[in-house]
Amino acid sequence: MAQENKDIITKLVVTSSDSVLPIDAAMRIYESSTEIVIKETCFGTMVTGPSDAVDKVVNEVVSLDKNHIFVKERGFPPGDDRRCRASRGGGSRPGFYFLKEEAMMLPIIGKALDEYERDTPLRKREEKKKLEIKDIQDIIESSL
């Protein structure tokens, strides 16, 4: 597992917080360690370095607002020639579009995590059910 080997890892920290701005998270990372390299991107901050150092600083940042700061590991280090759009001739890396879509869902997830933590009971959702033949008949007749 990641914690056990000393190799270099990259984690992406995505902030979706009212109290912690991405820049706050970035500043916290800048201050915390000299072993790591960080890069800010449109959707979050990439943190690269020895796994221990990366995990430590990422945990610190997450603790600033734990239900609204999200983390995933990344395969490529930032600016890798093989993936960087600058050297690859334009066009985002394929994973970017999905990340963008997920980032837009984070406020919903964060809110739900807050509720889960507070043991807020699950709101009953109204199930959408298929229209009965009778209902369709009524609609048709009413629009005639």
Shortest Cβ 133–another protein spacing (Å)? 27
Between 28 and 93, whose beta carbon lies closer to another protein? Answer: 93
Spatial CA neighbour of 45 closest among 76, 23, 66, 67 = 23
Among 10, 17, 45, 48, binds another protein (CB under 8 A): 10
Near another protein in 95-124, by CB under 8 A: 95, 97-103, 105-106, 108-109, 111-113, 115-116, 120, 122-123
User: 73: how many CB neighbours lie within 10 A of its CB?
Assistant: 11
Question: Closest by alpha carbon to 38, among 21, 57, 15?
Answer: 57
- Under the binding rule (CB under 8 A), the answer on residue 74 touching another protein is yes
User: What span, in angstroms and rounded, lies between the C-alpha atoms of 26 and 32?
Assistant: 10
